[in-house]
Amino acid sequence: MKKIILCLTVLILLFPNCNKNCKIKRPKDVKPIDWENYNSVYDVMWNYADYNVSSDMGKTIKVCGWVFQGSHGLPVNPLDFNLIDKEKNIFNSNPWENGRGIYVRIGSYYRDNYETLIDSLKIKFDMADITKKCYITGTLSYFTTNDGCGEHINPEIRIDNANDIYFK
């Protein structure tokens, strides 16, 4: 009986700590979204990660960062990639890992110019130096992921024109 009481006490004491570990604390140095100029991946991520994005969803936003090239030596898919922030050590978009990036993907598959957009983006990425900083103008969206701590909101940028991406 003492073992059961001891086990229950331990579980009760550990349960609140689990919830504390799941909370992602927003840093204090996050700048608000600038709707006229380019925003860093860090600022966009923290303005929308696990916060309400619905009021700004669909708005045009400008973001700059670096294209995540991975560690496997595979070519970057210009139709579906992560934009990261090397300066702030944000290298991925998984909420359960250290740091997040912003997921970038082409717009709707049902657009009339979808095939042309795919071809244009492939050419742009083939010709560009993707190790340089990437500047993107696109539509703010989001996707959700779920881990042991619950559902997370992750910002996403959708692009509809190959001219909305450049490297400098």
Amino acid at the residue 6: L
Domain annotation covers residue 47? yes
> Which residues form the domain of 52?
27-167
Domain annotation covers residue 108? yes
How is residue 2 annotated by DSSP? H
70: left (phi over 0), alpha (psi -120 to 50) or beta: left
Domain annotation covers residue 109? yes
Query: How many C-beta neighbours within 10 Å does residue 160 have?
Result: 16
Domain annotation covers residue 71? yes
Amino acid at the residue 108: S
Domain annotation covers residue 53? yes
Domain annotation covers residue 17? no
Per the structure, how many domains does the chain have?
1
- Is residue 75 predicted with pLDDT exceeding 80? no
How is residue 164 annotated by DSSP? G
- Is residue 73 predicted with pLDDT exceeding 70? no
Mean per-residue pLDDT of the chain: 76
Q: Which pLDDT belongs to residue 14? A: 44
Domain annotation covers residue 76? yes
| Residue 32 belongs to domain with CATH number | 2.40.50.140
Domain annotation covers residue 33? yes
Give CA separation, 38 vs 78, 95, 131, in Å. Answer: 20, 24, 18
